[in-house]
Structure 1
Amino acid sequence: MTRIDDTFARLKAEGKKAFVTYIMAGDPDTETALEVMRGLPGAGVDIIELGLPFTDPMADGPTIQLAGQRALDGGMTLDKTLQMARAFRSDDQTTPIVLMGYYNPIYSRGVDTFLAQAKEAGIDGLIVVDLPPEEDAELCIPAQAAGLNFIRLATPTTDDTRLPAVLQNTSGFVYYVSITGITGAAEAQAKDVAPEVARIKSQTDLPVIVGFGIKTPDASESIAATADGCVVGSAIVSEIASGKPVDEVLDFVATLAAGAHRA
């Protein structure tokens, strides 16, 4: 059982949906990013997705692309991202951290070395968007052997022929991408999401969390109601990018969390 598994078991017992947030490591700077990260659980966040900055983030829209560029310009690296997780863990041993990014930095480090370092830093799961199921032997299976959940994305174009491959080695939860396109590109619609979530849940016992295109407390509530929870990323990254004080960013996060927990 990972922290992710424990969190979903607790939420199920409480009759609550999960609220998951994404922030970019090192955005707008290391100190501020860590302050935001440390404040997320108190704002109602159940699971934190921590973005690993990368030069070619092909699944991300302008908001997260710019966040990654700011982080890279500020000197953020894989080592510093893991150090951010360690610093968070010095105060919080229960909130799951999912490292989300692309395979190149991991490949460059070496899979075995990376997995050992990630586990030691307190990472609980990985979302690596550019590794398809056909490459599971590359990272997915070694990650799970190391005790990390490997979380796969399903999308509106993942049909019934493809879905079993996506689900085969997934653990922790399934991340359903609510829209066709990049992050922050459109608004998720509960009426479109609900039948897709039901289709996925008919083939897996894993929780299904919906992300992309969730920007308001009402949207957080309506989307979480269709699934086991929701993810908000770009809307929070935009608040950080605006230069607002950390407490105001966390106040915004708290309104989104309240929406998801009402579902």
Structure 2
Amino acid sequence: MNTTFTNRLPKAEKLFIPFIVAGDPHPEVTIEIALTLQEAGASILELGIPYSDPLADGPVIQRASARALKNGVTLENSMNLVSEMRKKGLKIPVIIFTYYNPVLQLGEENFFALARQNGIDGLLVPDLPFEESEDLRRKCEDEGLKFISLVAPTSSSRIEKIASHAQGFLYCVSSLGVTGVRNSLNNEVYSFLQEVKRYSDIPVAVGFGISSSSQVEALKDHCDGVIMGSALIQKIEEHLPELVNEETRATALYHFKNFIRDVLQPINS
């Protein structure tokens, strides 16, 4: 049986929650990237499941999904990958980030059986609206998994209701649109985060577009953590040849880790 999400969570002032796509650029490399993220200070890992129609994802994550799908990666073998990460020393919580259709195709019973077998701690389904998530949320509770909720600037009157049911951490979408690296943050994000924190009893983490130390610096006093995806996958993409080559992989992972530490410097200093 899993240790609890709380017990897995490192005691840190601010959370760093990275997102990567399972099987990108190769399942074996995904394991090493996950361990590198843990070494770089990750508090929780969001493991994205490659999907052919990722509605919330921008071009960087779409390309990562395409690479993983080309490798034959599915929801089932992505979840099995987590137990390999655990065997090699991954201790932080792992959240499965997947659209609902792959869960439906696999079957919810099979999904929860695999979650138990592989030491998975939670589930995030970006295309399942809050009003339609109650059944799956309750099943997660029964299984001891955290069902991670999303709240966006457009949530307005729903913020209090979403926050009151949120588990693990509350994922705040910094801006409208799809994921992707952004050069600047919308000024309205700060009042939005303040509003969310009024209602949330759990950590409030902000994502979508976080890619630089200046953005982390600007956000650090307004949230409990940052979520980073596209910027990490873009860095993986820059080092694809080195990562798939066993002889050069360690050097590529070293540069990857240094990039993360530079971005996180405002919350690690």
Q: Is the Cα–Cα contact under 8 Å of residues 38 and 90 in structure 2 kept in the other structure?
A: no
Question: By how many angstroms is 1:190 displaced?
Answer: 7.4
Is 2:83 the counterpart of 1:76?
no
Q: Tell me, what secondary structure is at the counterpart of 1:80? A: helix
Unaligned segments of structure 2, at least 5 residues: 243-251
- The residue type equivalent to 1:250 in the other structure is K
Tell me the residue number matched to 1:141. 138
RMSD across aligned positions (CA): 2.0
CA spacing shift, 1:58–1:87, aligned 2, 3 Å: same
Deviation digits for residues 154-196 of structure 1 (CA, Å, limit 9, x no counterpart) = 111110x212332243200100000111001634527432221
Q: Tell me, what secondary structure is at the counterpart of 2:206? A: strand
Deviates more, 1:131-140 or 1:2-11: 2-11
**% of aligned pairs identical?**
35
Counterpart selection for 1:193 from 178, 189, 194: 189
Is 2:121 the counterpart of 1:124?
yes
Q: Tell me, what secondary structure is at the counterpart of 1:138? A: helix
- C-alpha distance in structure 2 between counterparts of 1:187 and 1:178, whole Å: 13
CA spacing shift, 1:2–1:127, aligned 2, 3 Å: farther
Is 2:256 the counterpart of 1:249?
yes
Tell me the residue number matched to 1:177. 173
- Give 1 or 2: higher helix fraction: 2
TM-score, length-scaled by structure 2:
0.89
Unaligned segments of structure 1, at least 5 residues: none
Q: Is the Cα–Cα contact under 8 Å of residues 22 and 78 in structure 2 kept in the other structure?
A: yes
- C-alpha distance in structure 2 between counterparts of 1:45 and 1:105, whole Å: 26
- C-alpha distance in structure 2 between counterparts of 1:74 and 1:135, whole Å: 32
Structure with the larger RCO, 1 or 2 (CA within 8 Å, 6+ apart):
1
Deviates more, 1:58-67 or 1:176-185: 176-185
TM-score, length-scaled by structure 1:
0.91
CA spacing shift, 1:134–1:234, aligned 2, 3 Å: same
Aligned length: 257
1:1-263 mapped onto 2 (5 Å cutoff): 3-6=4-7, 10-11=11-12, 16-92=13-89, 94-159=91-156, 161-184=157-180, 186-189=182-185, 191-242=187-238, 243=240, 245-262=252-269
- C-alpha distance in structure 2 between counterparts of 1:157 and 1:80, whole Å: 35
Q: Tell me, what secondary structure is at the counterpart of 2:135? A: coil
